Amino acid sequence: MKNSILDHEGKVFGGMADRDLTSELRSHIDGLFDDELEQSIVDLKRHIDASSARLLALIAELDRREIPRTVHQLSTTSWLRHRCRMTATEASGTAKTARALAAMPHVADRAVEGAIPSNSLRMLAMARDKHPEEFRDHEPVFAEVATYLDTRELRRAVSHWEQQVDFPAALEDVELAREQRRFHFHQTYGGMWDASGYLDPESGHVISTALRSHADPTNLDPDDTRHVPQRMADALTDICRFWLDHNDDASTSGGERPHVTVTVPYGTLTGDDRSLGEIDGTAVDPETIRRLSCDAGIVRIVTDGDSQPLDVGRRVRTVPPAIRRALDHRDGGCTWPGCDAPTSWCDAHHIIHWADGGTTSLSNLTLLCRRHHVSTHEGKHPPDR
């Protein structure tokens, strides 16, 4: 292709010392036709994959000659960390993949051509390390299928192969994956929450399916401007909230259903002042507090000027289950014009807030999905019907 970015590699990337790289690259990209832009991306990705494979071949030779150990008194992994600025995990994985590639000549031949993506190459290296003798007999087949299967399809093929080669070992791998499942969830000093984890295939698939079904763009407002990570975060929150709202068996060790405790000055609820409330010690803005209190269980705590409790009232669920069922039946989902969110995604919103004298009655309630409930309390209005 006359205008492929690879044809300009020397021009664009070779003169960094005396040329504005960004300006040069930008100028070249702006001159590409649409089909040339597409082909340039494909060509460059293949070039990167080929370069990665060649890098692994060099590292394998470096390791074979034991240069890091004999010259620098370092392991190959430590040398990669020091000289190539890799993380410990990246360096260790790269060294292992390089050694495996040296023992996979058919795979290596296709990889240095750029025909096997880097992720697929690492997957084959792991399979070879687990079953080196068996893999040698099937390597030509893997070298071929890895050129056209995507990563997910190749993972499935490798998994089936491992079950055929050594079913007991494959079963142990499944059990080990289950034992390694982890989920960490903690609040940071800034009040945000950090989540990290490592899930076995079954658990990960269940969670992924639930989140994707709730965050699927086809189920959302076409004008929804949230990016994918934000939609996934909101989906996780909505799924957990739905479970708490609809599972009558959920309870804490004290016998009470789980709940979120919100501390708020009464003036904030009535709109007389703009003081911040708190959720477990973290500041929350007034409109969020008013939105949360639309459909919440309320514990009345009267305090004096020093915030000392004087009277704790009976916990009352603002929207009883019977009214919520009638509301779901009447509204059938979010009532914001143009929104198709189902009832399970919705909050019960007081048209006249209860702090302003509104009653918890069907006539004073409407269903709003989380996004439009937030919008309502922020003073935003729906488009004209």
In the prediction, which pLDDT does 44 show?
93
In angstroms, rounded to a whole number, what is the distance separating the alpha carbons of residues 93 and 77?
9
Give residues with Cβ within 8 angstroms of 35, minimum separation 6. none
Work out the angle at residue 64's Cα, subtended by the Cα atoms of residues 63 and 68, and round it to the nearest 5 degrees: 40
Residue type for position 83: R
Residue type for position 275: S
Residue type for position 51: S
In the prediction, which pLDDT does 357 show?
73
CB atoms within 10 A of CB 98: 23
Work out the angle at residue 161's Cα, subtended by the Cα atoms of residues 160 and 167, and round it to the nearest 5 degrees: 80
- Lookup: tokens for 366: 């409407």
In the prediction, which pLDDT does 374 show?
85
In angstroms, rounded to a whole number, what is the distance separating the alpha carbons of residues 145 and 117?
12
pLDDT tens for each residue of the chain, 385 residues long: 445 555 544 444 444 444 566 788 888 888 889 999 999 999 999 999 999 999 999 999 999 999 999 999 999 999 999 999 999 999 999 999 999 999 999 999 999 999 999 999 999 999 999 999 999 999 999 999 999 999 889 998 998 898 888 888 877 877 887 888 899 988 887 778 899 998 888 788 888 888 888 877 666 667 778 888 888 998 898 888 888 777 666 544 334 455 555 666 666 666 666 666 666 556 666 666 666 666 555 554 444 455 444 333 333 445 777 778 778 888 888 898 888 888 888 888 888 877 677 777 888 889 998 888 888 888 888 766 5
In angstroms, rounded to a whole number, what is the distance separating the alpha carbons of residues 144 and 80?
30
In angstroms, rounded to a whole number, what is the distance separating the alpha carbons of residues 100 and 85?
22
In the prediction, which pLDDT does 166 show?
87
Element of type H or E holding 12: helix 9-13
In the prediction, which pLDDT does 209 show?
86
Own/partner contacts of 374-379, CB < 8 Å, gap of 24 or more, are 374/288, 374/291, 375/336, 376/291, 376/349, 377/287, 377/288, 377/290, 377/291, 378/287
CA 89 from centre of chain? 21
Torsion of CA 189, 192, 196, 201, to 10 degrees: 160
In the prediction, which pLDDT does 290 show?
65
Strand partners, 147: none
In the prediction, which pLDDT does 296 show?
57
In the prediction, which pLDDT does 156 show?
87
* Cβ pair 273, 248 in contact under 8 A: no
Q: Is the pTM of this model over 0.75?
A: no
Element of type H or E holding 62: helix 34-64
- Lookup: tokens for 276: 């911040």
Give residues with Cβ within 8 angstroms of 359, minimum separation 6. 352
* Cβ pair 292, 347 in contact under 8 A: no
